[in-house]
Structure 1
Amino acid sequence: MLTDRWGLPVATDDPAIIAGLDTFDTSFITYGTTAAAIWDAARTDPACVMAQAKAAALELFLQTGAGPDKARVWLTAAGPHLARSTERERLWHRQAAAWADGDAEAAIALCREIAAHWPEDLAAVKMAQFHMFHVGDLAGMLEVAETTLPAHRQVAEMHGMRAFALEEMNRLDEAEDAGRQAIDLKRAEPWAHHAVAHVMETQGRCDEGLAFMTGLAETWADRNSFMLTHNWWHAALFAIDADRPDLALQFYDDHVWGVLKGYSQDQVNAAALLVRLEFAGLDAGDRWQDVAAHVAARGPEHVEPFLDAHYLLALTRAGRDAAAGSLLDSLRDYVARQSDRLTGRIWCQTGLPLAEGVAAFGRGDWAAAFDRLGPALAGLQQVGGSHAQRDLFWQLWLQAGRQAGAHATIRPHLERRAAERPGVAKHRRDLAALG
């Protein structure tokens, strides 16, 4: 039995398997590009339960409809070897199985158990935050970071994880302090850059945020497509807020779209930025068609409400009504078959009305968009995505309300936005446009 990079035992006698596990964990917590090493390790030693569990996790991280079935192949291979594995390995295996089954509550509980017993395992802390984030358990994200912090006080990524949790809890000053502490420890810590960007975005510090992010951008060049494109996406939001939409469009063309067009998160970044650019008065041209072509190639998938909503936005804005209709029909059938556990309730109560509202917006049916998006807004925290990302759905609702003539309803929301972000001129223009 050997030990991994956390100094914890793993039931394997092959140093190459440990190297594969360590490469996966490092790539996972730093948004690197070498996570696929875990698949080679798992193939090399089917008896290593930890390798099989993390190989399964990587399938699920890709957020495809086929992900759960692919994950179960690895998990099943580990089955005969569970008895000789360590308890931590068995918990990793169980959390991957729960994830594949769509049981977020069980996956979170299992990650909490790993982090509680082995706080050295920073990958487990990151995994716990991942699951919590996707169902809106923001307090849990912060709790797991705070309780494991003593084991990682000199690790930049630990402070980056804590910073993002603090930001999502709206503890903005603390979040910025934690993010900057991470950057002091390691300048190339993109998740900390991301957390500080969230703080600045929330506070409307657009010029400062633009300079901050572009000043660090060279450190993202070797990160995976999600982190690279998403941090550039944040830079583009600052450019829009600073009334420089042409610069944001340049960021879109040069950095946000085109890295890994088949990946869900790259498609989300693209769709969310294109519609914001349209709100800023730019013509997206044929860019919607390119994004929608890659979305349509996915076929109907229901990995997460946040994803489906963005897919529908891309399809409808590109005029692909047949593909959008097929996705909506599939979603309605999927929701009708959901159980009463947490993820099922999220799909039923928020995911479906959100999807229907976004699709109506994309078609230009303003009244329907306003009516369907409205009930979904209260549950947005649980559909996936961050505050900054989910704000898109508020913006769609406000735009639909303006077009539908619901000025009295949307005015207080526009006034609040203008008061919270006084340095962003577009909020004042939006208010003025109501007359």
Structure 2
Amino acid sequence: MTYTGTDAVRRYDNALDCLLLFREDVTAEVRAVLADCPRSVLGNVFQAYLGLLGTEETDAAEARTAFAGFRRGVDPAEVTPRERLHVEAAASWLDGDVHRAGRLLGEITTVWPQDALALAVGHQIDFFTGNAVLLRDRIGGVLSAWDEADPHYGFLLGMYAFGLEEAGHYGQSEQVGLAAVERNARDVWGIHAVVHAYEMQGRFADGIRYLDERSGDWAEGNYLNVHNWWHYALYLLEAGRTDRVLEVYDAAVHHEGSAGVAMELLDAASLLWRLRLAGADTGGRWAALADAWAARRDGAYYVFNDVHAVMAYVGADRIADAERLLLDRQAWSGRTGPEVSNVAMTTEVGLPVGRAIVAYGQGKYDDVVDLLLPLRYRLHAFGGSHAQRDAVQRTLVEAAVHAGRHDVARTLLSERISLRPVCPYNWQAQARLADRLGDTAGAAAGRLRAAEQMSAARVR
């Protein structure tokens, strides 16, 4: 570790532990590395990654300035090959090329498979770019090079479990995730992977029980707690407990004391949007959430965030604000070169999805279908998980039903039910379609199946 003394290496190790645990102490530990050794190559790289991992435009801008200053004072000839690749990866991401950064981190872990920083950051890049195969194989490709007794091996299992789930290996994901959490009870990413596996298997009661039993390990004191509360609320929604969903929203997802960071606000928007699709009354929550998004004054940085801001504006009936945001992103993408990953993510997926959300709010359901139907197999390209992107998939289903596009709705619901037969939402939507078609028996059967599954999802 070039330009890094013994004490700074110890603080770097502490920072790495905090990163793997999603602990807020990670920032203080990295600052301690740089206070002791300001020129530490991996210390400065680590600080740059922290400025990027939150998907916050202002944090990234600050990190870009600091990292440029660091690079001016470093002789590349004195830096090791591994560190040089890290510097290049961080610089690429800071310049907007997140895909190149991910490839460079992959080069590191091919030669140095035990570089936990490269693995953890690369894994998050795969998440931000919606790359399910790399979420699985970036981690799977290094497992054989690790000693299972290594204290970080369990965190690797937690990452691998999430990759397995996103790639469709739900049973294996569950088992690997449970093993990860047995090694490190506070591995909130491993807990998160298990929660995803239960979600995709329709095991909502199991998910609630699992989170309840481990609430002391995940519910506070880490960067992922709001997101895991969001998952808890999704289970409750499938159980038909809208009242409890709103309680969780108010207590943990978004309230007056919320930090207002993008990754938490998008969970809030996604949850309220699902409630809107379900016809639930959310009171005045949309207005407060739209205000929180507006207060950020975000520029173009990560379109996955932008789409959720659009949801909030549409939910609050602030259509003009939603349209203004989309016009700004369209203009930005026309001025910005293709080396910035967010350009393609915006133009190919983000803008059509945002326009579809606006059209849904205006009751232009045919337009929603026309915008989303061509994208349904490419939505992953603008980031997030299957569970997160399902809000958009449900919007397409609801629009097809409302628009009278019955063949499209039947096809979409057949796909969903065949893949996830245990999902009350799917059967409720099937019943609504049957109503439209005058199929009384089919509607009754769908509602009965939904009621049985909601009852099974409730923890007794």
TM-score for both structures, normalised by structure 2: 0.87
**Residue equivalent to 1:55:** 47
> 20-29 or 100-109: which moved more?
20-29
Shift of 1:10: 4.1
Partners of 2:390 and 2:324 in 1: CA distance = 26
SS at match of 2:378: helix
**Residue equivalent to 1:253:** 250
Partners of 2:147 and 2:136 in 1: CA distance = 15
- Cα 1:414/1:272, change in 2 over 3 Å: same
Partners of 1:318 and 1:44 in 2: CA distance = 49
**Residue equivalent to 2:409:** 410
- Cα 1:50/1:406, change in 2 over 3 Å: same
**Residue equivalent to 1:122:** 116
2:85 aligned partner, one-letter code: L
Q: Name which of 310, 315, 329 aligns with 1:331.
A: 329
Shift of 1:279: 3.0
1:135-284 equivalence runs, <5 A: 135-150=129-144, 151=146, 153-154=148-149, 155-225=153-223, 227-258=224-255, 260-284=258-282
1:255-404 equivalence runs, <5 A: 255-258=252-255, 260-341=258-339, 343-404=342-403
1:367/1:400 contact within 8 Å kept: yes
Shift of 1:338: 4.0
1:82/1:90 contact within 8 Å kept: no
Higher relative contact order (CA closer than 8 Å, sequence separation 6+): 2
1:299/1:327 contact within 8 Å kept: no
**1:342-392 CA distances to partner (integer Å, 9 max, x unpaired)?**
543332222221121122223443332222222332311111100111111
1:47/1:78 contact within 8 Å kept: yes
Partners of 1:62 and 1:140 in 2: CA distance = 20
Partners of 1:122 and 1:366 in 2: CA distance = 47
1:48/1:81 contact within 8 Å kept: no
**1:55-113 CA distances to partner (integer Å, 9 max, x unpaired)?**
12211223222344312222122222243333322222211110011112320121112
1:188/1:220 contact within 8 Å kept: yes
SS at match of 2:148: coil
1:135/1:343 contact within 8 Å kept: no
Matched, 1:81 2:74: yes
SS at match of 1:81: coil
Partners of 2:335 and 2:272 in 1: CA distance = 33
**Residue equivalent to 1:30:** 21
1:36 aligned partner, one-letter code: T
**Residue equivalent to 2:12:** 21
Shift of 1:234: 0.9
Partners of 1:407 and 1:303 in 2: CA distance = 37
Shift of 1:142: 1.9
- Cα 1:348/1:280, change in 2 over 3 Å: closer
SS at match of 2:349: helix
Consecutive unaligned residues of structure 2, counting only runs of 5 or more, are: 436-460
1:125/1:145 contact within 8 Å kept: yes
2:166 aligned partner, one-letter code: E
SS at match of 1:271: helix
Partners of 1:40 and 1:362 in 2: CA distance = 49
Partners of 2:216 and 2:31 in 1: CA distance = 29
SS at match of 1:378: coil
> 145-154 or 329-338: which moved more?
145-154
Shift of 1:165: 0.7
Partners of 1:357 and 1:152 in 2: CA distance = 49
Runs of 4+ in 1 over 4 A off after TM superposition: none
2:21/2:222 contact within 8 Å kept: no
Partners of 1:82 and 1:375 in 2: CA distance = 49
Matched, 1:100 2:97: no
Consecutive unaligned residues of structure 1, counting only runs of 5 or more, are: 1-8
1:32/1:222 contact within 8 Å kept: no
